[in-house]
Structure 1
Amino acid sequence: MALHPRVTTTPAGTPTEVTQGSQTKGGIGESTLRPDGTLKVTGEFAYSSDMWHEDMLWGQTLRSTVAHAEIRSIDISEALAMPGVHAVLTYDDLPTEMKNYGLEIQDTPVLAHGKVRHHGEPVALVAADHPETARRAAAKIKIDYVELPVITDEASATAPGAILVHEGRDDHHIGHVPHPNIVHRQPIVRGDVAKARERADVIVEGDYTFGMQDQAFLGPESGLAVPAEDGGVDLYVATQWLHSDLRQIAPVLGLPEEKVRMTLSGVGGAFGGREDLSMQIHACLLALRTGKPVKIVYNRFESFFGHVHRHPAKLHYEHGATKDGKLTHMTCRIVLDGGAYASASPAVVGNASSLSVGPYVVDDVDIEAIALYTNNPPCGAMRGFGAVQACFAYEAQMDKLAAKLGIDPVEFRQLNAMEQGTIMPTGQPVDSPAPVAELLRRIKARPLPPERQWEVAGGASDVRALPGGLSNTTHGEGVVRGVGYAVGIKNVGFSEGFDDYSTARVRMEVVGGEPVATVHTAMAEVGQGGVTVHAQIARTELGVTQVAIHPADTQVGSAGSTSASRQTYVTGGAVKNSCELVREKVLEIGRRKFGSYHPAWATAELLLEGGKVVTDGGEVLSDLVDVLEDEAVEVEAEWRHRPTEAFDLRTGQGNGHVQYSFAAHRAVVEVDTELGLVKVVELACAQDVGKALNPLSVVGQIQGGTTQGLGVAVMEEIIVDPKTAKVRNPSFTDYLIPTILDTPTIPVDVLELADDHAPYGLRGIGEAPTLSSTPAVLAAIRNATGLELDRTPVRPEHLTGT
C-alpha cells in the first residue's frame, strides 16, 4: 500500500499542509481554535472547583490512616457537637442495602465497614458551613483500628494461607483465577512455542519493573450536589463518564436514575483518573441528609488517595530469533498490582495480554497476564491502559535481540513489523493500515539535533540545556549523548464484547435570521478538544457556520467514557450520524416547499454549504433560512462501531478489539554519567491518525501523550512502603511531573492512512504516543551508558551505582 501522508508538521507543531474537508469554514480538516482555549490560558474558565451556591455546605472525607485493619468502633460525638457541623455520616447511615459500587465488579464500599483495605480509604463524611470547620470536625472522629498484615505483592497475595483482601468473593471472574487474591487472569496461547524455540538461533530474556504512575491532573476532584424538591438531587461534577457515574450512584442513594440529574462541570484533566467515582456519592449523601447544597473539593494530598493510579507491573519476557533477524516466538508473564479494589483491572489485563507482543509478527506465543488484589492503593484506568507496561518490556527486548544479532535496532524492528493483514496473537486480523515500518523509517530519517547544544559563545555554557538544568551541577563534564527508538500498538475504544456506543442530539433552526446547529451529547470534555471537533463535524455535514455545543448532561443518551481514544471515533460518529439524519429532514422540508419550482430538488445531489442548499454542480437552490423559517429539525441517534467479542479465557483467542493505533518515537538524551542526571533533548514522534480532523489538536494530543511517557521514564512514581502499604509521596513536592523545563522538543510527523471502517477514516490518537515515548527514552539512556536499566522510572542511583 502506498503511503501518502497528508499532514506533516514542523517541530513547533504548525501544520505545513492542511487538507480541507468542507467548503464551510471551520469544518473537518481545519485547525480551528478551541472555544475554551482562551478562557483556560487566561484563568477565566470555570472548573468544577469554582462552583458556588449561596447557602451551600462544605463536605469533608475522613480517610483511613492505615492500609489494612479491622474497625472496632467509630466515635463521631465530638465532631457532631462542633458548631457549624450539620451532619456526620458513616457506613451505618447509608440509606439502602446497596452499599458498594464499581466499574465492573461492585466491590468498593461507599464508606468502609468492618475493615479498611488501603491507606486513604473513606471511612466517614462531614458536612459543615465552612471548609475548615468540616476539616477540624473530621479530625475529631475517633476510630479504633486493629491493624492486620498487609498484602503487597504476588508472593504475599498467593502464599499458602494468605489473608484474603476480599473475603467471600463472588463475581464473574472468580472461576477463572487460581487464587481469590487474583482479580483476573488472561492467557493467550497460539502456535507451538516449544517447536519455535528450537528454531531460534538466539534467545533473550528479561525481567522488568514498571512503577506506579499518577494521572496528576491539575484540577482536583470536586463537585456540587443540590437537593431537589422532587426528592432527587442535581449533581454538577468533573468526571469522564456521566452515565456510568449515574448507574453507580442512583442505587446507593435509593433513587431512580431520572431523579439523579448529572451535569458535567469544568474538568481539569483526567487521563483515566476520573473513570471511577470519587466524591460523587459522598456529596449527594450529605446533600440529601442536610437538605442543603454540598460542595466537596479535594486538596492535592487527598487527591492522591481519591482516585486510582496506573498499575505497577512486574513483567518477564522471552524472545527468540533466527540469525537473519526473524522473530521465532515470545513468552511473557505480566503481573499487574490492582490494589485493594477491582476498578478497571479486568479490562487492563485484557489489554496488557492481547497487546503484549507489540506491533510485530510472532506466530508462536505463550502469554499470561494477571491482576492482583493487594492492600496497595487501587489502580485502574490511565492513558495507555495496560499497553504502556507491556510496551516498555517488549521494546527493551527488541533492543536486546538486535544487539545480540548485530543488527541495527530500527532495521530489526522493521524486519519484524506487522502490516495490514497481520494476524494478532488473539487470532484477529489487522484489517486497516498498520504502517509500523514506515513510522520507524520516518523517525530514523529525521536529522538529529546538534551536538553539545549547551555550548555558547565565549566558552560559556547554557546550563538550561545540560543535565541538571538550572541547578548548575555540570558544565558538560562527563555528559554523553544517547539515541533510542521504540514503537507501540494501542487498541482504540472499548473491547471484548463491550457494547460501545454513543448518542448525539442535533437540532437545526433559524436563530436571529441565521441557521444554527446545536449539538448535545453527554461527552465529557476533559481537555481533549472534543467540543471543537463536534462543531467541525456539524459545520461539515450541515453547511452552517454557527454551531452551539450544549452542556453535557444525563438528559441525553450516554456518550460512553472519555477514554480509550474513543470519543472522536464513537461520539464523533454519533454526531455525524445525527447530522446526516438532520440534513435529510432539512432537504425533505425543502423538497416539500420548493420542489415544484425547480426540478433539481428532486434530481440533483443536494448539499448544504455556507448556509445554502446547493446542487453538486454548485447551483444555489435556496437559503437554509428560507427552508427552515419557523420550523426546527431535531434528531437524537446512537452510533455503534463494529462489534467485538470477549477473549477466550483458556486460549485468549477472539476478535477483541475494534481498531489499532500506532506511534513511534526517537529519543535523544544527554546523560551526566558521573551524577546520574538525564536531559531529554528531543522526542521525535511519527504517528498514523487515519484522518486529522483538527491537525493542530492532533499535534497537541501527540505532544501531551509523549510528555506523560517522558514523565514515567525519568521521574514519576508513587512510592508505597512495602512493609505498611502506605503512600509516602502524596504531593507534587515529592511526586515529580515534567515541567516546561523538562519537556524536550517534540517534532511530530503525522500520517493520514484512512481506516475504512471509521468515520472520516479517523483513528484514535490520544494514547499511542504515551506507549512508545517511555521505552524510547530508556533505550537512549541505555545507549549513552551501556547499562541494562530494566525499571521505570530511571533514577540517578541507577546510573551511578550508588
Structure 2
Amino acid sequence: MGVTGNPTSINQGTRTKGGIGESTLRPDGILKVTGEFAYSSDMWHEDMLWGHTLRSTVAHAEIVSIDTSEALATSGVYAVLTYDDLPTSVKNYGLEIQDTPVLAHGKVRHHGEPVALVAADHPETARRAAAKIRIDYRELPVITDEASATAPDAILVHEGRDDHHAGHVPHPNIVHRQPIVRGDADAAAARADVVVSGEYVFGMQDQAFLGPESGLAVPAEDGGVDLYVATQWLHSDLRQIAPVLGLPEDKVRMTLSGVGGAFGGREDLSMQIHACLLALRTGKPVKIVYNRFESFFGHVHRHPAKLWYEHGATRDGKLTHMKCRIVLDGGAYASASPAVVGNASSLSVGPYVIDDVDIEAIALYTNNPPCGAMRGFGAVQACFAYEAQMDKLAAELGMDPVEFRQRNAMEQGTLLPTGQVVDSPAPVAELLRRVKARPLPPERQWEVAGEQADVRALPGGLSNTTHGEGVVRGIGYAVGLKNVGFSEGFDDYSTARVRMEVIAGEPVATVHTAMAEVGQGGVTVHAQIARTELGVAQVTIHPADTRVGSAGSTSASRQTYVTGGAVKHSCEAVREKVLEMGRRKFGTYHPAWATADLLLEGGKVVTDGGEVLADLVDVLEDEAVDIELEWRHRPTEAFDLRTGQGNGHVQYSFAAHRAVVEVDTELGLVKVIELACAQDVGKALNPLSVEGQIQGGTIQGMGIAVMEEIVVDPKTAKVRNPSFTDYLLPTILDTPTIPVDVLELADDHAPYGLRGIGEAPTLSSTPAVLAAIRNATGLELNRTPVRPEHLTGT
C-alpha cells in the first residue's frame, strides 16, 4: 500500500506508541479468528425462553383470520402474540416514516412479513408451535414495478399516507421523489457533437452478513427491559422500541452485543421489539436467533433499480449535459428510501463537471421485499450507470476511456449540480492516473511451465471446466463519488465520554460511546485517538450502550469522522482539565506550567521541547477526570424539492478501480484477476485498517457485478433464493489480487483531515468489472449481475 500526500499535522502525543497513523491491531481480531469472540447469538441466560417469528407465505393478502389455539396448547409454549396482543396504541415503527407494523394487521404487504410470535422453552418447540398457527389469507394482486405501482387503477400499498413526503410525489405508491435541475440540458444537448444514452438494470443485493439477526431481552424488576442486541444504531432502535412497549426510554436499556457484520442491514429493526414483547409478557428472558432463511426476510436489502441516462459531449471530449431518471424499488415499507433517493439523485452525475443537468430519482412502494440502507446507499446504482456512459462516450469519440474521464474530472472548487462547492481535495484525475499506471498482471497465469495447469486462475476455477480454450482478457476502469455522513439537514452528531484516572499506579483512559462496532474497527481507532490526545498507553473501550449519548449509526462512512471527532473533542477537554489540575498542584515549581504549550506524552506532562514537568500519576492521584461531550460536523441543508439545490452533503470521498478479467466466452464464465484501487482517505488513522476496508468494499462491489442477486418472482413477489446455497457470494477463491494505493490529502474541515472510506470502493469496483467484461467480449451488458447466459446468448 502506498501512502502519499500532505496530511494534517498532529500536535498532541505524536510519540505515544499505538497512536494515530500507526497500524495497530484490532483488540477483537484474535478472538474472532480463533472462534472465541462472543457474538449476540452466543448469549445465554438462566431460565431463558426462545422466541420465534411466524412470517407470511404470500406477498400481498388480506388476513381473514388467525387461530393460535393449537399453538398455545403445545407443551413448552409460554406465549403466542399477534397484533391484537400489542400493549399500546403505537403499533408501527420506522427509521423516518413509521409505516412498518410490529406484526401484520389487516393485510400483509410482502413475502416474509412478521404475523405472530411464539415463546417456548426450546427453539424447536417454538418453531413447531408457530407452524400450528392457522392463518386464512385472501390474496390480492401484487405491485412489483413502476408500471403496476403508478397505473391509474393501481392498488395502494399503503392507504391513507400521512408522512411528510406524501405531498411531494405524483402517486401514493411513490415513497419520495427528488429532481435536480441546473442549467438547460435541452439547449446543451443541441450543442453536443455526440450524444449517447442507455437503460440499465441493477439487481437486488443482500448485505449477506455472516452473523444472523439475534438478541436477548431480559425483563427487569423495575418493569423495564434490558436488551442485548447486534445492531448499527442503539439510540435509533431505542427511539422506535420504547413507544411500542409503552415504556419511557430510560426503562429500555440497550447494550451492544457482538455483531457479525452489518453493511446497512442492521439499521432497521428486526427482532428487537419482538424479543422485548415476549420477555415482558412471560416475565422471562427471551432469546431470538434467526436462521439464514429467516435472515433473508428479516432485514432490508439494496434497492434494485432501473436507470435511464443520456450524456452529450463535444468533439474534443468535454461533457455538455446529462439527463437521467432513476427508479428505485423500495419494496413494501419506506425504511431509508427517502435518503437513498436523495443520494442517488445528488450523486447521479458522478465525479465529473457537467453544468447542464436534468435529473429525477424516485423510490416506489411495491410488494417486493423492503429495501433500505446498504453500503454505498444509492450512489452504487448511479455509478454503475454513469460509468457505463463514460465508456460509451469515449468509444464514440475514439478516445482512451481514462483520458476522457480525466478531461472531465471534478477537482477542488468544482460546483456540483446541487449548487454545492467541493471545498476539499478531489483528486479524481490523479486516482485514475495511478490505477492506469500500475503494471498489468501477467497473461495466461494458469499456464505453469513443465507443470500441470493451475486451474484456480481460470474462469470456473476448481470446477475445471476449461483449460484456457476461448478465454480472453479484458481491462476496465471506473471512478466513483460518494458522500460521507448523514445529509440533507440531518442533525448528525455523536457523543463520547472520556475518563482519565490512575489504576494500579498507572494512568488509564476509558472511552465510552454508543458506537456500534460492526467490524469496521472503530474500537481500534478510538483507542488510537485517546493515546494520541492524552499521551497514555493504557486505553479501555467501554462496551457500547444507551447509558451514554447517541453516536448515530455505523453507516454512511461516518463513524471515524463523527464519533472519532467526538472522542477527540472529549479527549481535548480532558487534557485541558488535567493540565489545569497540574497547574494548580505543581505550577509554582516551574514557569513552563504557565507559559509553555504543554503536552501529555508517555504518561507524563511535558513541554513542547520535551522537558518533563510531572508524572500523570501524581497529577491524577487525588481526582479522576470524566467528561462527556457531543460533537457535530458543519451543518448541511435539505435539497429543494423542485430544483434539488442545496448544500446537502458534508464531505465527499473518491475511489478509482482498474479491473482485469479473464472471460471464457464459450461457457460464459468470468474470473476477476485483479482489482487495483486508488483512494484518497484524507488521513490514514490506521493504515492496516484502511487497506482492509478498501479491499472489503472492493469485493462487495465485485459480488454485485458477477454473482449476487436476490431473485424475486415478478408474478408473485416471492423470494426465490433465500439461502447461501442459491444466493451466491464471492469466496476467497473468487477474490482477485487487490493492490491498494492510498492518497492522504487532508480535508481541513475534518478531524485529523480524515475522509470516510468504507463505501467509495464499493461504487467503482462494480462498473470497473463490467467495463472489463465488455472490453473482453464486445457485449453491451447493461445489467447486474452478469450471468453466463448474458455472455453466451443462451
TM over 0.5: yes
**Using a 3 Å threshold, how does the CA distance of structure 1 residues 194 and 13 change in structure 2: closer, same or farther?**
closer
Q: Distance in 1 between matches of 2:647 and 2:243?
A: 34
1:484-539 Cα distance to aligned partner (Å, 9 max, x none): 00000000000000000000000000000000000000000000000000000000
Q: Distance in 1 between matches of 2:734 and 2:11?
A: 33
Q: Distance in 2 between matches of 1:775 and 1:16?
A: 32
The alpha carbon displacement at 1:458 in A equals 2.3
1:433-457 Cα distance to aligned partner (Å, 9 max, x none): 0000000000000000000000012
Q: Distance in 2 between matches of 1:533 and 1:21?
A: 15
The alpha carbon displacement at 1:21 in A equals 7.5
1:327-358 Cα distance to aligned partner (Å, 9 max, x none): 00000000000000000000000000000000
SS of 1:96's partner is coil
SS of 2:583's partner is helix
8 Å Cα contact 2:168/2:176 also seen in 1: yes
8 Å Cα contact 1:13/1:699 also seen in 2: no
**Using a 3 Å threshold, how does the CA distance of structure 1 residues 178 and 403 change in structure 2: closer, same or farther?**
same
1:357-387 Cα distance to aligned partner (Å, 9 max, x none): 0000000000000000000000000000000
**Using a 3 Å threshold, how does the CA distance of structure 1 residues 20 and 342 change in structure 2: closer, same or farther?**
same
8 Å Cα contact 1:20/1:30 also seen in 2: no
**Using a 3 Å threshold, how does the CA distance of structure 1 residues 13 and 621 change in structure 2: closer, same or farther?**
closer
1:651 aligns with 2:628: no
8 Å Cα contact 1:20/1:29 also seen in 2: no
8 Å Cα contact 1:64/1:120 also seen in 2: yes
8 Å Cα contact 1:529/1:697 also seen in 2: yes
Q: Distance in 2 between matches of 1:475 and 1:15?
A: 48
The alpha carbon displacement at 1:460 in A equals 3.3
Match for residue 110 of structure 1? 102
The alpha carbon displacement at 1:461 in A equals 1.5
8 Å Cα contact 2:7/2:753 also seen in 1: no
8 Å Cα contact 2:7/2:682 also seen in 1: no
**Using a 3 Å threshold, how does the CA distance of structure 1 residues 206 and 720 change in structure 2: closer, same or farther?**
same
8 Å Cα contact 2:345/2:360 also seen in 1: yes
Match for residue 782 of structure 1? 774
SS of 2:33's partner is helix
Q: Distance in 1 between matches of 2:661 and 2:616?
A: 57
1:115-170 Cα distance to aligned partner (Å, 9 max, x none): 00000000000000000000000000000000000000000000111000001111
**Using a 3 Å threshold, how does the CA distance of structure 1 residues 259 and 431 change in structure 2: closer, same or farther?**
same
Q: How does 1:132-151 map to 2 (within 5 A)?
A: 132-151=124-143
**Using a 3 Å threshold, how does the CA distance of structure 1 residues 303 and 25 change in structure 2: closer, same or farther?**
same
The alpha carbon displacement at 1:198 in A equals 1.3
Q: Distance in 1 between matches of 2:133 and 2:176?
A: 37
Q: Distance in 1 between matches of 2:120 and 2:138?
A: 29
1:60 aligns with 2:42: no
Match for residue 375 of structure 1? 367
8 Å Cα contact 2:668/2:792 also seen in 1: yes
SS of 1:13's partner is strand
8 Å Cα contact 2:8/2:753 also seen in 1: no
The alpha carbon displacement at 1:542 in A equals 0.1
1:670-724 Cα distance to aligned partner (Å, 9 max, x none): 0000000000000000000000000000000000000000000000000000000
The alpha carbon displacement at 1:19 in A equals 13
Q: Distance in 2 between matches of 1:766 and 1:443?
A: 19
1:19-65 Cα distance to aligned partner (Å, 9 max, x none): 99821000000000000000001100000000000110000000000
Q: Distance in 1 between matches of 2:158 and 2:409?
A: 43
1:211 aligns with 2:194: no
Match for residue 7 of structure 1? none
The alpha carbon displacement at 1:630 in A equals 2.6
Q: How does 1:485-634 map to 2 (within 5 A)?
A: 485-634=477-626
8 Å Cα contact 1:523/1:560 also seen in 2: yes
SS of 1:371's partner is strand
8 Å Cα contact 1:710/1:777 also seen in 2: yes
**Using a 3 Å threshold, how does the CA distance of structure 1 residues 737 and 72 change in structure 2: closer, same or farther?**
same
The alpha carbon displacement at 1:18 in A equals 14
8 Å Cα contact 2:681/2:756 also seen in 1: yes
Residue 81 of structure 1: which of 49, 73, 76 is its match? Answer: 73
Q: Distance in 1 between matches of 2:109 and 2:207?
A: 22
Q: Distance in 1 between matches of 2:449 and 2:186?
A: 61
Q: Distance in 2 between matches of 1:564 and 1:324?
A: 37
Q: Distance in 1 between matches of 2:311 and 2:13?
A: 45
Q: Distance in 2 between matches of 1:600 and 1:759?
A: 28
8 Å Cα contact 1:455/1:462 also seen in 2: yes
8 Å Cα contact 1:235/1:262 also seen in 2: yes
8 Å Cα contact 1:84/1:129 also seen in 2: yes
Q: Distance in 2 between matches of 1:104 and 1:727?
A: 26
SS of 1:626's partner is helix
8 Å Cα contact 2:58/2:718 also seen in 1: yes
**Using a 3 Å threshold, how does the CA distance of structure 1 residues 165 and 693 change in structure 2: closer, same or farther?**
same
The alpha carbon displacement at 1:284 in A equals 0.1
**Using a 3 Å threshold, how does the CA distance of structure 1 residues 347 and 593 change in structure 2: closer, same or farther?**
same
Q: Distance in 2 between matches of 1:658 and 1:302?
A: 37
**Using a 3 Å threshold, how does the CA distance of structure 1 residues 31 and 459 change in structure 2: closer, same or farther?**
closer
Q: Distance in 2 between matches of 1:670 and 1:410?
A: 20
Identity %: 91
The alpha carbon displacement at 1:199 in A equals 1.0
8 Å Cα contact 2:5/2:743 also seen in 1: no
8 Å Cα contact 2:5/2:744 also seen in 1: no
**Using a 3 Å threshold, how does the CA distance of structure 1 residues 237 and 13 change in structure 2: closer, same or farther?**
farther
Q: Distance in 2 between matches of 1:617 and 1:17?
A: 17
SS of 1:418's partner is coil
8 Å Cα contact 1:15/1:695 also seen in 2: no
**Using a 3 Å threshold, how does the CA distance of structure 1 residues 15 and 793 change in structure 2: closer, same or farther?**
farther
1:171-211 Cα distance to aligned partner (Å, 9 max, x none): 10011000000000000000011110111000000000000
Please say which of residues 476-485 and 191-200 is displaced more in the overlay.
191-200
The alpha carbon displacement at 1:271 in A equals 0.1
TM norm structure 2: 0.99
Residue 273 of structure 1: which of 259, 265, 269 is its match? Answer: 265
**Using a 3 Å threshold, how does the CA distance of structure 1 residues 42 and 381 change in structure 2: closer, same or farther?**
same
**Using a 3 Å threshold, how does the CA distance of structure 1 residues 354 and 13 change in structure 2: closer, same or farther?**
closer
Please say which of residues 324-333 and 460-469 is displaced more in the overlay.
460-469
Q: Structure 1: 5+ residue runs without aligned partners? A: 1-11
Q: Distance in 1 between matches of 2:773 and 2:484?
A: 30
The alpha carbon displacement at 1:423 in A equals 0.4
8 Å Cα contact 1:349/1:370 also seen in 2: yes
8 Å Cα contact 2:212/2:290 also seen in 1: yes
Q: Distance in 2 between matches of 1:128 and 1:486?
A: 52
The alpha carbon displacement at 1:14 in A equals 20
Q: How does 1:691-702 map to 2 (within 5 A)?
A: 691-702=683-694
8 Å Cα contact 1:227/1:288 also seen in 2: yes
The alpha carbon displacement at 1:567 in A equals 0.1
8 Å Cα contact 1:205/1:397 also seen in 2: yes
Following TM superposition, where does structure 1 have runs of at least 4 consecutive aligned residues deviating by more than 6 angstroms?
12-21
Q: Distance in 2 between matches of 1:660 and 1:15?
A: 17
Q: Distance in 2 between matches of 1:344 and 1:368?
A: 18
The alpha carbon displacement at 1:17 in A equals 16
8 Å Cα contact 2:210/2:260 also seen in 1: yes
Name the count of aligned residue pairs: 791
Q: Distance in 2 between matches of 1:44 and 1:663?
A: 35
Q: Distance in 2 between matches of 1:598 and 1:19?
A: 22
Q: Structure 2: 5+ residue runs without aligned partners? A: none
8 Å Cα contact 2:8/2:752 also seen in 1: no
SS of 1:605's partner is coil
Q: Distance in 1 between matches of 2:277 and 2:405?
A: 54
8 Å Cα contact 2:52/2:118 also seen in 1: yes
8 Å Cα contact 2:474/2:775 also seen in 1: yes
8 Å Cα contact 1:19/1:30 also seen in 2: no
8 Å Cα contact 1:321/1:328 also seen in 2: yes
**Using a 3 Å threshold, how does the CA distance of structure 1 residues 404 and 20 change in structure 2: closer, same or farther?**
farther
**Using a 3 Å threshold, how does the CA distance of structure 1 residues 13 and 794 change in structure 2: closer, same or farther?**
farther
Match for residue 290 of structure 1? 282
Residue 34 of structure 1: which of 26, 29, 32 is its match? Answer: 26
TM norm structure 1: 0.98
